[in-house]
Structure 1
Amino acid sequence: MTAPEGQEGLEAQLAQWRQYVQRRRELQPADADELEDHLRGSVDELVAVGLSADEAFLVAVKRMGSLDELSREFAREHSERLWKQLVLTGDTSSPAAGKRPPRDLLVMVGCAAGAAVSIKVPALFGISMQHDGEFYALNFSLFAMPWLAGFLAWRRRASAALIAVLVALFALGAVAANIYPLGDESQSVVLTTIHLPIALWLVVGLAYVADEWRSSRKRMDFIRFTGEWFVYFVLIALGGGVLTAFMFGTFEAIGIVPETFVSQWLIPCGAMAGVVVAGWLVEAKQGVVENIAPVLTRLFTPLFTAVLLAFLVAIIWTSNGINVEREALILFDLLLVVVLGLLLYSLSARDPLAPPGLFDRLQLAMVVSALAIDVLVLIEITGRIADYGTTPNKAAALGENVILLANLAWSAWLLLKFLRRRGQFAALERWQTNYLPVYAAWAWIVVFVFPPLFSYA
């Protein structure tokens, strides 16, 4: 093993160890930093006396002293490597799970209540959900995401400078949603409704990574958070649906129809609060969801690969072109985003030191299939623009597909190099995390530049 390869492998192991340490709720980020500094110092000392990077890391973890119990738990989870025989010694009983400070729960409840109340504030100014649907469509992400970002910033003890940046970005989002005179038939209404939540979610990501916004590892943690948040939010939504059904059934049995309460209060307020509660659940119960999300990823990756391949075969068999009307463009872009999401989350849940396997080959097939579809869509879009001129929808779709094309193409190349053992898995992780600002920049461009550029059409 060459020095650079050894160092890269060591950094991957340190990142994995830190990720595990950070699951312990009783340890604050500053504690994790101190422990990592101590571990790095021990590794450097052992490497200096002749041990390889891998050997030095394993021995240093073993020597952590007061963290023996934490090391044993780490050994249990990573028994497929040498952890079990090198670290798992002595008492193997699990320690009692640390209790979450009540303060976290109180802050979460306050933020969730703030999100629930926020969506009803416009009604004080005569803006109702029933008659002003366009306003709520443009602004719905502004009712909950600032509260989730606030909770995460409080959890991370964000600096005053970062909090000021978060406030400025959310204020910018509010301006973007409301400054332009968009008519009911304006395509920019739909584009802003889709792209503003993307831009603001990445602002939430800034609150999540806090002062480590340049860290590739922290960005990957946010990708993991996003997938886990989605799982929890869907579960909350399903539970809310069951609650709503029971409410209708029981109240109707006594002659009361709660339709107004459900549609005007329960569903909108519950959805906004659920955004914050889902984030809190990810923070509080990571060990549970991490067993769910990777399973879902492994289940749907082969299914989506089969669908993409079948679609390509159908195009070749029928010689039919792709419809590039608005609904079709949104559908294809969503399909490509789902493929990218599956790739991202599988990356975040994968052991970076594991050798390439069958699932990695399956991912390559999925990415290449998506790449081929993206190329076909781009050909159709450019052809329509050349023949009939551009529209906001087509311009947005063109830009998004170019951005996805670049991401998917380089991801496929890095995956191929990894499968051929000519590249490191860490390079694929870094590419994806470094590409996130591109999506943020494009979302803000669509929200701010497109409406006046196309005369608010």
Structure 2
Amino acid sequence: MAGQEERVEPAGGHGRLETQIDQWRSYVQRHRAISPADVDEMEDHLRGRVADLTATGLDDDEAFLVAVRRMGNLDAVSREFAREHSERLWKQLVLVPDEPSEGSAPAWRELAVVLALAVGAGIAVKVALAAFDTDSVLLRNVPLMTAPFLAGYFVWKRRVSWRVVAALLVPYALLAVVLNVYPYVENGSTVVLAAVHAPVVLWALVGVVYVGGRWRAQDPRMDFARFTGELVVYVTLLAIGGGVLLGLTAATLSLVGVDIEPAMESWIMPFAVPGAVVVGAWLVEAKQDVVENIAPVLTRVFTPLTTVMLLVTLVVLLGAGGLADVERELLILMDAILLLVLCLLLYSVSARDSLARPGWFDGLQLVLVAAALAVDAVALTAMLTRIAEFGFSPNKVAALGLNLLLLVHLARSGLLLLGFLRERRPFGALVRWQTRFLPVYAVWAAFVVVAFGPVFGFA
């Protein structure tokens, strides 16, 4: 395969053309379906086409545009590379690659680091189980004790500067103080809300480490959103596989009178759950160059199914009546539905070719967003009526706040998607909106943790 030194340089080496090719190369490299070696080969083809076109009399800009056009749709190019290099793509599924990329650690060393961090997270959870005697205190502190190990993997992987790490220790310490110093009422609403929202704040801190401190940049934020979806899929698969393995082991040992349930509660689960998160993160990182990641593929499957479900739900809600008698569970359920729709939209956006023209799937996503907003409007109206009649509570305010954030996020996304379908807005505007709004959820979660206790009397 041609190397960097063999590329055909256009006559004159014009700076503008080089800038355009660099931008094209950066875009292609962000497309996970194409490996760095393949990008080199594609750039060789592109430069060769540009050289041929400039020889016919075209200027650099014209030659570049025509050459890129003739390269074809990026997805089609990806499939062509997949056909030509199927044996290489198969090898990418192996845990240990043949040759580590330049500047990266050997695979065995990274695996050793991952396993050490996974064991460390398990030890931390085991210590928490021994140190904290109530469920509420344990629920608040387990995420605090395990998040540093996941963040530590990315500190090592990304070579994050100690300045960034030190800056993140401040909000981490404040969060730990709030969760353990506030005089919460045992099993009260505010302590449960704090325990539920604290992992969101911790995940935002992990995200800053994941992007190497470049938290203001758009592309790294979208990469972290994509990573989150992939991690959920991998951890779910690990949980299913581990559950089957433990079930078979328990059934086999029970035949000889051995009960492993005490060991499972005391040792296996405390190490397996946090360890699965760390190992799952490593698997996501290791598989970034495989032809297609899992989460975007699942969105293609579940987007039409979710759309049908929402339309059916809308018809049922409009015909049912009496929604004002439903407790806060209705609003929580609507939040879950909006979160599902948001995830489907977000991961579809992260995997889409931003230069491609609007297609049928973009239209289907707009229908999905519109259906979700319609369903939520019905439920939200009923819930606001109930709040006006019976007053606020910590749970209602927390659910209502998240609901409003999701409404704003999806409503704006729908408008931008409509503008894109009508070819009045670029697809990049929709991408920017997703990445800019995501930190708002972390801010809201931090507000719930810090403010809800004092406001509602820690009840």
How far residue 149 of structure 1 moved from its aligned partner, in angstroms, is: 1.1
Corresponding residue for residue 113 of structure 2: 107
Equivalent residue of 2:234, what SS?
helix
Measure the CA separation in 1 of the matches of 2:334 and 2:85. 54
Q: Given residue 438 of structure 1, which amino acid in structure 2 is its aligned partner?
A: V
Corresponding residue for residue 234 of structure 1: 236
Measure the CA separation in 1 of the matches of 2:403 and 2:86. 52
Say if 2:331 and 2:403, in contact at 8 Å, map to a contact too: no
CA distances 1:333-380 after superposition (whole Å, capped 9, x unpaired): 111111101110111111111211111111111111111223233323
Say if 1:360 and 1:419, in contact at 8 Å, map to a contact too: yes
Corresponding residue for residue 219 of structure 1: 221
How far residue 233 of structure 1 moved from its aligned partner, in angstroms, is: 0.4
Say if 1:152 and 1:207, in contact at 8 Å, map to a contact too: yes
Structure 2 unmatched runs, 5+: 1-19, 92-96, 101-105
Measure the CA separation in 2 of the matches of 1:241 and 1:412. 39
Say if 1:25 and 1:284, in contact at 8 Å, map to a contact too: no
Structure 1's 83 and 266: CA in aligned 2 closer, same or farther, altered over 3 A? closer
What TM-score, normalized to structure 2?
A: 0.81
Structure 1 unmatched runs, 5+: 1-8, 27-31, 63-74
Aligned residue pairs, count: 413
Structure 1's 225 and 82: CA in aligned 2 closer, same or farther, altered over 3 A? closer
Equivalent residue of 1:353, what SS?
coil
How far residue 432 of structure 1 moved from its aligned partner, in angstroms, is: 0.3
Q: Given residue 166 of structure 2, which amino acid in structure 1 is its aligned partner?
A: A
- The alignment status of 1:51 with 2:53, answered yes or no, reads no
Q: Given residue 161 of structure 2, which amino acid in structure 1 is its aligned partner?
A: S
Structure 1's 421 and 16: CA in aligned 2 closer, same or farther, altered over 3 A? same
Pairing of 1:172-211 with structure 2 (within 5 A): 172-211=174-213
Say if 2:338 and 2:406, in contact at 8 Å, map to a contact too: yes
- Aligned-pair identity in percent equals 42
Say if 2:33 and 2:292, in contact at 8 Å, map to a contact too: no
Structure 1's 331 and 140: CA in aligned 2 closer, same or farther, altered over 3 A? farther
Measure the CA separation in 1 of the matches of 2:247 and 2:442. 38
Pairing of 1:160-309 with structure 2 (within 5 A): 160-288=162-290, 290-309=292-311
Equivalent residue of 2:313, what SS?
helix
Q: Given residue 223 of structure 2, which amino acid in structure 1 is its aligned partner?
A: D
Equivalent residue of 2:140, what SS?
helix
Corresponding residue for residue 17 of structure 1: 28
What TM-score, normalized to structure 1?
A: 0.81
Aligned to 1:366, which of 341, 364, 368? 368
Measure the CA separation in 1 of the matches of 2:121 and 2:72. 40
CA distances 1:413-435 after superposition (whole Å, capped 9, x unpaired): 00100111111111101000000
Say if 1:324 and 1:377, in contact at 8 Å, map to a contact too: no
Measure the CA separation in 2 of the matches of 1:53 and 1:193. 58
Structure 1's 409 and 358: CA in aligned 2 closer, same or farther, altered over 3 A? same
Measure the CA separation in 2 of the matches of 1:175 and 1:22. 44
Aligned to 2:348, which of 346, 354, 360? 346
Structure 1's 53 and 176: CA in aligned 2 closer, same or farther, altered over 3 A? farther
Pairing of 1:375-414 with structure 2 (within 5 A): 375-414=377-416
Measure the CA separation in 2 of the matches of 1:162 and 1:227. 25
How far residue 383 of structure 1 moved from its aligned partner, in angstroms, is: 2.1
Measure the CA separation in 1 of the matches of 2:288 and 2:213. 22
Corresponding residue for residue 421 of structure 1: 423
Corresponding residue for residue 142 of structure 1: 144
Corresponding residue for residue 125 of structure 2: 119
CA distances 1:179-215 after superposition (whole Å, capped 9, x unpaired): 2222233111221222111111111111111132211
RMSD, aligned CA: 3.4
Measure the CA separation in 1 of the matches of 2:24 and 2:436. 20
How far residue 172 of structure 1 moved from its aligned partner, in angstroms, is: 2.6
